[in-house]
Amino acid sequence: MTIHWCGTGLSAVPGLRRLIENGHPVTVWNRTEAKAREAVGDLTDDIHAFDKDALAAVLKPGDVIVSMLPGDWHVPLAELALDKGAQFVSSSYISPEMRALDARAKQADARLVNEVGLDPGIDHLMAHWLVADYRASDGFDADNALSFISYCGGVPKIPNAFRYKFSWAPVGVLKALKSPSRSIRHFSELNVDRPWDALSRYDAPLPNTESFEVYPNRDSLPFMADYKFEDAWKVKNFVRGTLRLNGWAEAWKDIFAEAGTATDARLQEIADKLLAENAYEADEPDRVVLCVALEAEKDGTPVYHKTYVMDAWGDARSSAMARLVSIPVSLAVEAVLDRAVPAGVSAAPSDPKLVARWLDEVQSLAQHLNVVDHLA
């Protein structure tokens, strides 16, 4: 069974190299063949210019397609996998179009696994661990009031005046700023049209407590079911969001003023300027901070409160972002080959054995990974 890894961009290479080095048969596809050879040419000659028809011609039943290409390729490649009796893995959020393939995949006993990178991905694993730990704790009570937060951000290890740096085209970041979000705050649904309208402070329980600016993104509410929250549970707060360095909002205020109404063409102009002024230098370390926390209160008193916290930065191995996105993808590929995940469309696993195994791997990818018990 061959792994067809499509895309060798900045966040793809460590996981790809891991699969090849672990002895898996891997065919590498990239839109620019020369760039793929720069990335893994020292490990393999099985490298080709990406072409869907060429991929279809060699795809065999039981093979796995990995899409690290732009998001609009995920569903076509997942459909190709189903057509050929193959499997599919991507790190991206499950789109409605991908979700619509679930019944067909289950009927074919095919695995279409998504949301297995950093965020989404590692954050899901931490959430599953915390919910399972809470259920097993002495403080568990179905009548408790629950507060859940998940904040993740890629930030420069060496802060700059702009409080952010880009390792890829900024236009995606700018478009995300135009997206509304939905979360729960103080038992009520919070709908926000623009992220900066819901900016708040978060004190991350790192070895040295550090404060960040955070804001909700996307629609957090469906993840309550994904994380096995029961319908009867009383949810006080529930938010999945983005983490930025302190001072980010002030540094970006002019962009906020324009981003909300800018055309795509104007966003591209802004993006080009931002990339020219705030790109990572060669070998400059990036940083990723991820905090996922669950708190339960009984009659206003905390009875359970733990935070899974991670801090990672670029080193001689790779950028932090590349490791934390692509190596979990490679773990998902191996889980698919082992049939350790169920058929159908799925996200990062909740199975305790897989969660523990994958988080053990994350321990080696990050410089700091810890569960903080705030009540100990």
- Is the separation of the CB atoms in 242 and 215 below 8 Å? yes
Rounded Cα distance between 89 and 68, Å, is 9
pLDDT at 331: 98
Rounded Cα distance between 39 and 42, Å, is 8
Percent of the chain with pLDDT over 70: 100
Would you say residue 169 has pLDDT above 80? no
User: How do 301-313 and 286-298 pair as beta strands?
Assistant: antiparallel
Question: Which residues does 174 contact at the CB level (< 8 Å), separation at least 6?
Answer: 255, 259, 262, 267, 270, 271
pLDDT at 265: 86
Mean per-residue pLDDT of the chain: 95
127-166 confidence digits (pLDDT tens): 999 999 999 999 999 999 999 999 999 999 999 999 999 8
pLDDT at 168: 75
Would you say residue 103 has pLDDT above 90? yes
187-201 confidence digits (pLDDT tens): 999 999 888 889 999
pLDDT at 195: 83
Question: Which residues does 42 contact at the CB level (< 8 Å), separation at least 6?
Answer: none
Rounded Cα distance between 162 and 174, Å, is 14
Rounded Cα distance between 147 and 186, Å, is 9
pLDDT at 171: 81
- Is the separation of the CB atoms in 215 and 240 below 8 Å? no
pTM: 0.95
Average pLDDT of the residues in 21-49: 96
pLDDT band at 177; cut points 50, 70, 90? confident
Average pLDDT of the residues in 299-316: 96
**N residues, the chain:** 376
Percent of the chain with pLDDT over 90: 85
Would you say residue 226 has pLDDT above 80? yes
Average pLDDT of the residues in 67-88: 96
- Burial (0-12, 13-18, 19+ Cβ within 10 Å), 107: exposed
pLDDT at 256: 86
Average pLDDT of the residues in 36-56: 96
pLDDT at 364: 95
Would you say residue 259 has pLDDT above 80? no
pLDDT at 159: 94
CA dihedral over 128, 134, 137, 143, signed as positive or negative: negative
Q: Which of 120, 140, 144 is nearest to 130 (CA)?
A: 140
Structure-block tokens of residue 114: 């998504």
b/e 177-187 (16+ beta carbons within 10 angstroms → b): beeebbbbbee
Sheet holding 344-346, edge to edge: 47-49, 26-30, 3-6, 64-67, 87-90, 111-113, 344-346
Structure-block tokens of residue 54: 């060429």
What's the count of helices (H) and strands (E) in the chain, helices before strands? 14, 16
pLDDT band at 316; cut points 50, 70, 90? confident
